[in-house]
Homo-oligomer: A and B are copies of this chain.
Amino acid sequence: MMGLACDIGGTNTRVGLVLDGKVLQDSLASYPNDDFADFYQLIDAYLNRVGQARIEAVCIALAAIATAQGAQLTNRNWTIERDKVAAVCGTGYVDFINDFEALGFCLAQVELLATTPLVVGNGALRNGPRLVLGAGTGFNAAAWFPPRFGTAAHVSAAECGHITLPLQGEEEFFLQAALSRGRGRASVERALSGNGLVEIYQWCCQRSGRSPQFQTAAEVSSRAVEGADPDCEQAADMFLRLLGRVTGDLALAFLPAGGIYLSGGVTRALAPLICSRPTFHHAFCAKGRMAEFMESFSISLLLDDRAALSGCAEWLRLSGQ
């Protein structure tokens, strides 16, 4: 039974065919959203391209909350109606899932995805829950719990970007004041996102007395990785300290003995520094008498930007489609 997996991002939409709970690698495609007037045209173009006339079930991952009727994209003027997707695809089975929930479901088949190890755990832990988290436009996480009592696995959705940003010590107290200005508080994604990295960079510039030279997270992260600018390097160092601490806190909440997977554009851009500098892992392990326990977790980078499609495939499999 052939299914369709879609991952609608802010810029591109990725699409693939699903058979027996797996994405067919030859069927993968990615389209710039700007090339289409609406989502239905995009899907229509895809189905024509792959020559697939009959789709039995559809699963769409997106950064929006779906209703019975469909979903409204938050960062683009696209409304996606369930009925219209059904008409284009010729099936009545259309599910919407949150983009991070999709990443949670893809952890069931993470062995099939491209990953690279960042931290190898000390071997005490192997099996158990898996956690995916990451910083991109925003921040979020999802946990995958393996089957227990002979039943199916479970995925938990979250809104971790809105958790209180955990800060400590005098330097970070001043950072908190800067990030909270005009907002009353600082959430995790106030720092751990593309905009967050830029705000941390501007704060570093203010402290060093230099004028900010860069405007985007891509610029700040690439200069930091190259070691080409002291303010970018300091901003990246603070970002990785906070990311390590938050990742450690979420590890204590979900106990992902089966591994932690980092995703997201900003995380990926700064990943070389996670390996080459102690900042991230030091902050991750700094949990008092739990420090040794924290060293048992393995942490990998999720390279495959089609991971959410695998999550849609897993969702369709679990749904019996």
Contact = CB atoms under 8 A, between A and B. Distances in A.
Contacts of A318: 148-149
Given A151-B151, A156-B129, A187 B287 contact: yes
Given A164-B166, A166-B164, A245-B164, A158 B319 contact: no
Interface in A224-240: none
A298 interface: no
A235 B164 CA distance: 21
A183 interface: yes
B168 A168 contact: no
Interface stretch (A20-28, A250-258, A261-269): A250-258
A248 B159 CA distance: 11
Given A145-B156, A168-B176, A185 B255 contact: no
Contact of A158 (B145, B173, B255, B288): B255
- Copies of this chain, complex-wide, total 2
Interface in A155-191: 156-160, 162-168, 170, 173, 176, 180, 183-187
A286 interface: yes
A168 B129 CA distance: 31
Nearest to A320: B149
Q: 10 smallest A-B Cβ distances: which pairs?
A: A164-B166, A151-B151, A154-B154, A151-B152, A163-B249, A159-B252, A162-B290, A149-B318, A173-B173, A162-B287
